Amino acid sequence: MTILLENLSNYKNYRPFHYIFTTAEEYKYVFDRISAGHVHFFFDVGHGAICEGDPLTIIKEFHHRIWGMSFSNNDGIRDLHLGIHQGLIDYQKVVDIIVETAWKGVLAFEVRGRSFNQSVDDVVKLFENVHITKCA
């Protein structure tokens, strides 16, 4: 059996809600106690950017435990499920880190106002930019 843990948005100011599995410290705590064979990370990049989150550092640090990623964008305050070019997350940098770490896994899209095909085209263009940048 494979267990996938999705990170939640770190809403620090929305009481009475207290979320777990929202910060690098919490990810490390869980992964240090569970073997890598059965528990993996499904990293929601949009959730990772809430309240000063740093999804780029999380991908670098935990890429070996990330089974899949969910792509959407937001304003850093609310999980708005925007298209990848419509918020504060720089998805070109996300893709650059994916290439740098040689991460392989599942990509999901959780966006409003963009079709699946449009979302895939958005990501393909980002990967093409990496290729152009590395070959130039």
Alpha carbons 38 and 116: distance in angstroms, whole number:
29
Torsion of CA 38, 43, 44, 46, to 10 degrees: 170
Domain hosting 20: range is 3-135
pLDDT at 52: 87
Each residue of 91-126: pLDDT tens digit?
999 999 999 999 999 999 999 988 889 999 999 999
41 - beta bridge partners?
5, 66
Residue pair 7/41 in contact (Cβ under 8 Å)? The answer is yes
The structure tokens 């499920």 sit at 81
Q: How many domains does the chain have?
A: 1
| pLDDT tens digits along 29-73 | 999 988 777 889 999 999 999 988 999 999 999 999 999 999 999
CATH number for position 87: 3.20.20.150
**Could you tell me whether strands 3-6 and 66-71 are parallel, antiparallel, or unpaired per DSSP bridges?**
unpaired
Task: Work out the burial of residue 23: count CB atoms within 10 Å of its CB; fewer than 13 is exposed, 13-18 middle, 19 or more buried.
Answer: middle
